[in-house]
Amino acid sequence: EVVLTQSPGTLSLSPGERATLSCRASQSVTSNYLAWYQQKPGQAPRLLIYGATDRAIGIPARFSGSGSGTDFTLTISRLEPEDSAVYYCQQYGGSPPWTFGQGTKVEIK
């Protein structure tokens, strides 16, 4: 099973600042099938990025994904107040079980 470790646990930034979230895998993610999700309180997760770098439909361009192998990054270029949420990475390459990271909470000051 691929274990995903996210850092930092919490990120507290001001509107307009850049947020950099990290996701490290315990082994190489097959085909770089790594996704990022945003979850707000009381809601289901929302897909932001798939295949490590591709934005899902309707996702603003300020969200971008990068990385390969075992190290992946989600960048929010200019934070908006509505970006306050918990962000999860998830791998879905090779064989199941598909696994999630423990999440990074982004707080907007």
Residues that bind another protein (CB under 8 A): 1, 30-31, 33, 35, 37, 44-47, 50-51, 54, 56, 88, 90, 92-103
Please give the structure tokens belonging to residue 21. Answer: 């979230």
Closer to another protein by Cβ: residue 81 or 97: 97
Q: Which is nearer to another protein, 13 or 47 (CB)?
A: 47
What is the per-residue burial (b if ≥16 Cβ within 10 Å, else e) of 54-65?
Answer: ebeeebeeebbb
For residue 85 the two structure tokens come to 């949420």
Q: Say how far residue 98 (Cα) sits from the centre of its chain.
A: 15
Distance in Å, CB of 70 to another protein, minimum: 17
Tell the smallest beta-carbon distance from residue 102 to another protein (Å).
5
> Which residue number, 8 or 94, has a Cβ lying nearer to another protein?
94
Residue corresponding to tokens 């591709």: 54
